[in-house]
Structure 1
Amino acid sequence: MAVGLRHPPDRYGCAGRARPLCGADGWRGCARCGRQPRWTDAPARAYYGEVTIDGEPAPTGVEIEVEMGGEVRDSITVEEPGRYGEETASGEKLIVEGESDDVGTPVRFYVTTTDGERLAVNATDPDDVTWASGELERVDLTVRTARPAAFDLLEVDLGSETVTEGGAVDLSATVTNAGGLSGEQTVAFVLDDRELSSETVALDPGESRSVAFENVTVDRDPGSYGYAIQTENETRTGELTVEAPAEPASFEITTVDPTELTVVRGARTAVNATVTTAENVSGEQTVQFVVDDRVVDERVVDLAATETQTVTLENASLDLAPDSYEYAVQTENETRTGTLTVTAPTEPSVVEVTDLTPASPTVDEGGSIAAEATVENTGDQPAEQTVELRVGSTAVDTEAVALAPDASRDLSFEAQSIEVGPGSYTYGVFSGDDSETGTLTVEESSDSDPGDGGDGGSDDDPETDPAVFQVTDLNPATLEAGRGEAVTIAATVENTGDESASRNVTLDVGDGQIVERRNVTLAGGEAATVEFADVDTTGLGSGETTYAVSTENDERTGTLTVLVEEEAPGFTFLTTLLAAVAAAALLARRSRGG
């Protein structure tokens, strides 16, 4: 029994949609064209759905055709923009008749525009439409009249068409979309049929973009290889030459100076090496200074072809035990050796002062003093110094000495007048490294005549005492500071005389290592605080140092303890105790001197 009731469109204009007429002798031909319907053994397939052209709904009047097996099976006209056929049972549809053998056969769709242009449908939803009997299926149709994306290569630049074996190349290409639709493609760099690098590019119609492949390693043996820059639409080719690497420059050491080197342990060590390229090739290498299998210095040397350069290799403080060592100056190609002798460091010259005589003299005001002392060089180096005899902070006599290591000399300072007022003063013999001091007491002259002022006054004028600047209240008496730390020292200075006067007040730290002065003017009986602020301790050695604030008439001493970084704060008690002992000894000595 036949179940097919329609026939396909013919070439003479019949759309095949007229219902077959039923007569007394059975089914008759098409009421429109008289053709007989196709008789099938399977129910027909019906299609409907949406249709767009270049993204817009297809207008009314557009004709949709369906084809299977190369034969147009049915057609329908768009009566509502963007839709063809109807989902309802009674509505129009595209009808495709077939046999059971047609199951799975692809079904194609075509669109004839109102201008009469017949276009193939580019895409369907679902993607692949195949025939099956007796079902109604929705198939959406998409038609594109614009040219698809086409990625052309406008410019291709291979930075260098020659590369060293194992080296890398840089290349770039300008890609443009010459099509009518946006698209995305992969731009690839292919060498010897092997892709070395690629980049995916998305472009709108007419848009261009530069694509760069940088530092692409070429892992090929020396030779010539074809390369290509390609998209899906275009390929540009060329030839890349891979060369064997050049032999590296050979760095030769022509001289090393000195070959026999002697240094003191911890001192600067240096050698000079002359380096040249052995062949007509430029290059760069590291020249090393090696002592006791340890690199103590190195320099990077860049030489042009046949260039020669002298390099100084040094170490600021080579800490090796005293001994003989082999040292080497080396490049990648050559090594030169020599002998390094490290000696123990020697002690510098140290001039010590002993045996001060007299230890605690007493003189009348306006009198003089002579002194003797012994100086000795206890260091390992010769010494040349000026030794001073001082009263307070003033040198009243000097003596130049030159001493070999371990040599000593007795010094005699001739009598020198003392131009200070009555009082007690520190006096002593001072070298650049040491001193020995005592207490000088200046007494008021017994034959002085206070009434003889030389101004025509009578003997009945009241007596006046000259200005005498006494030092009291040393603050602080003991002091601790880190090396380099600034300290402040003050003292009270009082004019115990009757006359107004100006005097120098002197701070002496470490036997002349630091000396500062302030000029103070005081009326009779007046007192003032004299401050020495921000005194720099950088040049002082670690440990205890005596400091003194003095005038021509008086002096007060204190103890400054200089701490280095490794000294723990816990030592402050010990240093305070030692300072107290030193102060007591000084007072006792002054008492004996008085």
Structure 2
Amino acid sequence: MNTTRISIVLILALALVTGAMAVEELPQFPDEYKGTVTIDGKPAPAGTTILALIDGEVRGTLTIEEKGTFGGDMNIDKNLIVTGYADDAGKTITFTANGKNAGKATFRPEEIHTVALAAKSGGTTPGGGGGGGGSSPSNPAPVKTVAPSVEAPAAPPVGSTNLTTSSGGMVDKATAVVSSDRIATITVPEGTGAHASDGTPLDEISIRPALSYEVPTVTGETGFAFSGYAYLCGPAGATFNPPITLTFEIPAEEWKKLKGDQFTIKWYNTDAGRWEEIPTTVDYETMTVTAKVSHFSTFALFTAAPATGDDNLPAAQVTDQTRDGATGGKTNDWTIPIVAGVLVIIVIAGAGLYLMKR
């Protein structure tokens, strides 16, 4: 009898200790990350793998699905989940992008953080000296190598620029100008016929973001919604033959917010009082939207309108937020500790019933 009771007590003690150890080893609520990632200063391509390491051990991995950006606050967004244990709080997380160092952060579980990861793929690594002959001096004079001079392409002027044209209005030199927010660019190729509204040769072009009160009301539009990007190109009424190029280059984070699988550029027809669509080309790799325009007016970028009831509005930008306020990413799985607790209770109850019967 005593031997049986002692055995039962030992089994219960072992079960309790094992359960406690299992719970102790379970990860805490994870740390979550969303944000942007670049390689060599450019948005990382879709398919880039991000790793998160603590003490050299991989604690999280994510393959991005959209160029230059990952995660978010929506349920459908995939955040980078970094798991840790009780003694990991405050430790350093090292991030890599395709195996290259991309940044660091501090492990703080139960929060969502916004990060901007940046990796360099072609950085040079100091190496050993070249393999000279065995009889060469121990300290040979260094050989200076001069790289050939390569002139970087000049950035387009901002806001406005002069246009060099012939007496007949033909552009003598290719010209470009970019808006002050660096989003919209006008490119006028050499040989383009450029004339002012009165038919005289055009000698200047300009582009600037439209102020809110300068953007005509969007009414009667079906299938598309105004993205928030609108620009005034001038002088108004100027014409071009063949049409010139208007390009919208959207930042990675803003591109993700738009969430549109279709984009179009429209111009405002003041005579008809409506926005009219222009044939548009979308490059999802470079995150640019381009259209050919034959005259200057007010131009705006539109995206596919969200379906009724679909919350497609940009999420609030939060650097850190607690899990109570987070809607995206994964939540901690408590299945194991719950099951372990139930098993311990069952063992204790069974032992009690057995002793009572004895």
More strand by share: 1
More helix by share: 2
Larger Rg: 1
User: Does the pair score TM above 0.5?
Assistant: no
TM-score by length of 1: 0.18
Greater RCO structure (CA 8 Å; 6+ sep) = 2
